[in-house]
Structure 1
Amino acid sequence: MCGTLLRRPAYAGVVPKTKKAKQDKDRPKKPKVSPHSPSHAEPDEKGLDFPRAWVEFPDPSDGEQVFRCDLTWLTSRWNCIFGSGCQGIQTGRADDGCCTLGAHFSDEEDEERVAGHVARLTPEVWEFHDVGRASGWAEVNEDGDRQTRRWKGSCIFQNRPGFAGGVGCSLHILALREGREPLETKPDVCWQLPIRRTYEWIDRPDDTRVLQVSIGEYDRRGWGPGGHDLHWWCTSATSAHGAGDPVYVTYRPELTELMGKAAYDVLVELCEARPASQLPLLAPHPADPSGPGRAAQGPG
């Protein structure tokens, strides 16, 4: 959940069942770039292929599904550095962060939910309020999908540097001003990044089936072939791995929404046991301060 310089309050929300979510609901639209053009990644990115530690456990709330979670990612010290070193996904547009392409709505319900919050945006919170009200804030792209409108090179909801109401996503700023979680006001794809949730039916030897829900890092590959051509991507960048708390703590609201509270509570126990059980830490994130060859850090 990136794109603002402001902080958020504690979370208290209602969680839908994971199984009812669409399998592509947390997948951003693939960038329209050639998979064969050279990558513009900066040197602080550590790459895509390295050892990872995964854990699997049954969903306490649903006997027909299991969670498979990437502990390497969830216990990493990644944090959003929008406005504080973020290089942006497009060359020359660092101030956009990951908002350059706009946000593709996952479905009609997603757009309708966002519309209800857009109605409360004022010119003091939203820099392009008058433009959005006069000529619309959503559009149909060349693939026929609906998304937030791009205005002057980026998402129309993104306040640019110098705006008195705050730099970054106006829907995010609205949520913080109202004491809400930003996941309530922003499009699905915006608040889920850079967590990736995928689904796979697993056929077991005893002829039973379970739905495996994987929770992990949304790296460059998550964007499809075009992800390799993003100017910069933060999840494996050392400059974005300096948080005081690990991802499973800082992304508690989002993970609770994606997994359900009971499953998230199990995840917390497993994440807390990870640094306490083994030193040096097995399969740390290479972008972390506690990466290979460095001292491991506890959850605090």
Structure 2
Amino acid sequence: MTNDEVDATFDREWVEFYDPADGETVIRANLTWLTSRWGCIFGQGCPGIDAGQPADGCCLHGAFFTDEEDLVRVQEVAKKLTPETWQLHRDWHESLEEDTLENDEGEEEPAIKTAVVDGACVFHNREGFPTGPGCALHQQAMRDGVHPLEYKPEVCWQLPIKRDFTSIDRADGSVTPVTILDEFDRASWGPGGHDFDWWCTDAKLAHQSAERVYESHEAELTELIGAPAYERLSEICARAVERGLTAPHPADPGAVNLGMPGRAKG
């Protein structure tokens, strides 16, 4: 953890509400994160997860595809790219790597990801390329006037929001599905996340946005939980901000890290 990052043991405020479009599903949301002032600073002083490659941000390891639909969607977008818009332009099959991912049972299973070339994702245009550094898929979305979530792998456009699923076993024998919205922190990357030279979600440098996360990521949150649930979430977040959170994100300007006693603070 760098000096810019706050200790991860700080207090958080959560909220639960039933999905207006599905009365059997509960949305559990991290209000401290969603009302924070985090904003992506790629290309605006981002130190990157590897100090030796700051211009490459967090695009070093390639992106795993969540399913066949995700893979096919990105494949169709890749057809739009040319050598002038994609620095490492190549055939589709040469853009992929076979790897493994741990499933819910803790077992490794085959998975497909974007290839890593010369230390970064194959779709990442490097510093000095005419389009500027950044994801070729993201840049194509900007040219086409569409939201990047329509063009990028799911794992990429979801960052820095982490969606998980669990359930609650009720005393009456019923089971309530729960969708969790949380901060995609270092631990969310797995063991390797703790080896990053820098990570943004708990870093003060990245908590300077004029908008709060629930506002700047309306499209992503809507895609993740649906329009009715997002509308309800937005109302809750706005009310929490108006009344004042009891647990603000300590990386926000002027906030204090109320972490576990005796732990070092960032």
For the criterion TM > 0.5, the same-fold answer is yes
Superposition deviation, residue 110 in structure 1: 1.1
Residue 248 (structure 2) pairs with residue 284 (structure 1): yes
SS in 2 for 1:176: helix
Cα distance in 1 for residues equivalent to 2:202 and 2:147:
26
Classify the secondary structure of the residue corresponding to 1:236: coil
Asked if the contact 1:166–1:173 (Cα under 8 Å) also holds between the matched residues in 2, the reply is no
Percent identity of equivalent pairs: 49
Q: Distance in 1 between matches of 2:186 and 2:254?
A: 22
Aligned to 2:138: 172
* Alignment partner of 1:268 is 2:226: no
* Residues 290, 264 of structure 1: alpha-carbon distance in 2 compared, 3 angstrom cutoff: farther
* Residue 176 of structure 2 is aligned to residue 216 of structure 1: no
Cα distance in 1 for partners of 2:227, 2:76 equals 26
Note the residue ranges of structure 1 that are not aligned, 5 or more in a row. 1-40, 294-300
CA distance in 2, matches of 1:145, 1:252: 29
Q: State the SS of the aligned residue for 2:23.
A: coil
- Could you say what secondary structure the match of 2:180 adopts? strand
Q: Point out 4+ residue stretches in structure 1 off by more than 6 angstroms.
A: none
Task: Kindly indicate which of the two structures has a greater share of residues assigned to strand.
Answer: 2
- In structure 1, what is the Cα distance between the partners aligned to 2:100 and 2:249? 37
Q: 1:272: how far off?
A: 0.5
Partner of 2:117: 151
Q: Does 1:44 align with 2:8?
A: no
CA contact (8 A) 2:75 2:92 kept: no
Alpha-carbon shift at residue 123 of structure 1 (Å)? 2.0
| Correspondence for 2:81 | 121
Contact in 1 for aligned 2:39/2:213 (Cα 8 Å): yes
Following the alignment from structure 2 to structure 1, what is the Cα–Cα distance between the partners of residues 45 and 55? Answer: 10
How far has the Cα of 1:142 moved from its partner? 6.5
What is residue 26 of structure 2 aligned with on the other side?
A: 66
- SS for the counterpart of 2:250 is coil
Tell me the number of residue pairs that the alignment of Structure 1 and Structure 2 aligns: 249
RMSD, matched Cα:
1.5
Distance (Å, rounded) in 2 between the aligned partners of 1:233 and 1:263: 29
1:104 is aligned to 2:70: no
Out of 23, 36, 60, the position equivalent to 1:76 is 36
* Matched residue, 1:53: 13
CA distance in 1, matches of 2:151, 2:125: 16
Structure 2 unaligned blocks of 5 or more: 102-109, 258-266
SS in 2 for 1:46: coil
TM-score, normalization by structure 1: 0.80
Name which of 110, 128, 136 aligns with 1:162.
Answer: 128
1:64 and 1:209 in contact (8 A); partners too: no
Q: Name 2:96's counterpart in structure 1.
A: 138
Which stretch has the larger CA shift, 221-230 or 146-155?
A: 221-230
CA distance in structure 2 between the partners assigned to 1:142 and 1:91 by the alignment: 27
**Is it true that 1:181 corresponds to 2:141 in the alignment?**
no
Question: 2 CA distance for matches of 1:75 and 1:142?
Answer: 35
Partner of 2:260: none
Deviates more, 1:83-92 or 1:140-149: 140-149
**Separation in structure 2 between the aligned mates of residue 134 and residue 182 of structure 1, nearest angstrom:** 19
Contact 1:88 1:98 in 2 (8 A): yes
TM score, norm. by length of structure 2: 0.90
Paired amino acid for 1:149: A
**Inter-CA distance 117–274: structure 2 relative to 1 (3 Å threshold):** same
